[in-house]
Amino acid sequence: EVQLVESGGGLVQSGGSLRLSCEVSGFTFENYWMTWVRQAPGKGLEWVANINEPGTEKYYADFLNGRFTISRDNAKTSLYLQMNSLRVEDTALYYCAKHRKDGYNRWESYFDWWGQGTLVTVSS
Amino acid sequence: EIVLTQSPATLSLSPGERATLSCRASQSVSYLAWYQVKPGQAPRLLIYDASIRATGIPARFSGSGSGTDFTLTISSLEPEDFAVYYCQQRSSWPPFTFGPGTEVDIK
């Protein structure tokens, strides 16, 4: 059974840092692109960042302005999001998600498995 | 950046009724997905490539459309279908963008 379990969320003051983790099981983690998506309270889904299988390619949403870093440890089957210089507007539920592969084993940017999220609250 | 808009924002229906949700893109997209999100649960991929049901998704969910106009149809609403639905494009990235969502609630 595929499982993605996020952790590391919590309450932090504006300007602070947090490191989110996503531990996965049930699939060969090292063979899949992974993504972080967030959802602010009462708002919609917003893509944050993604990373390729070996961790050598990383892409970020423009609004991050270099404050967040995505990484992975394939030996630990874990995905991470280091969040620095946090702002009140970063308050959200943060989901990790697995990219789907097509019938030719090529990665696609649809997200076929998600965790339940970890809540980050940034206070002023 | 491709902007997705969804309508209506809220759809109030009864179990057994048909739900029709719309997603419109600011420019033509070739690749579009639909997700279902319920409070406290992991989001679920329903439809990808506009019309292909993901693994394990019931046949009452169907997707259609191309270019800039897409539709998710739930042929007969089950109690577990009351949720928020988002469309997402992957044609032009980064960023991948989602629509603002349509909430299907019980009338």
Share of chain A above pLDDT 90, in %: 93
Residues of chain B with pLDDT under 70: none
CA atoms of A107 and B71, how far apart (whole Å) = 25
Q: Pairing relation of β-strands B61-74 and B19-29?
A: antiparallel
Chain A partners within 8 Å of B37 (Cβ)? 39, 45
Tell if the CB–CB gap between B55 and A100 is shorter than 8 Å: no
Mean pLDDT value across chain A: 96
Residue tagged 């990790």 (tokens)? A96
Q: How many CB pairs under 8 A join A and B?
A: 66
Please name the member of B40, B48, B97 whose beta carbon is closest to the beta carbon of A100. B48
Structure confidence by residue, pLDDT tens digits, B31-56: 999 999 999 999 999 999 999 999 99
CB A74 within 8 A of CB A29: yes
B8, B25, B13, B18: which is closest to B82 by C-alpha? B13
Structure confidence by residue, pLDDT tens digits, A89-117: 999 999 999 999 988 888 888 999 999 99
Chain B partners within 8 Å of A50 (Cβ)? 94, 96
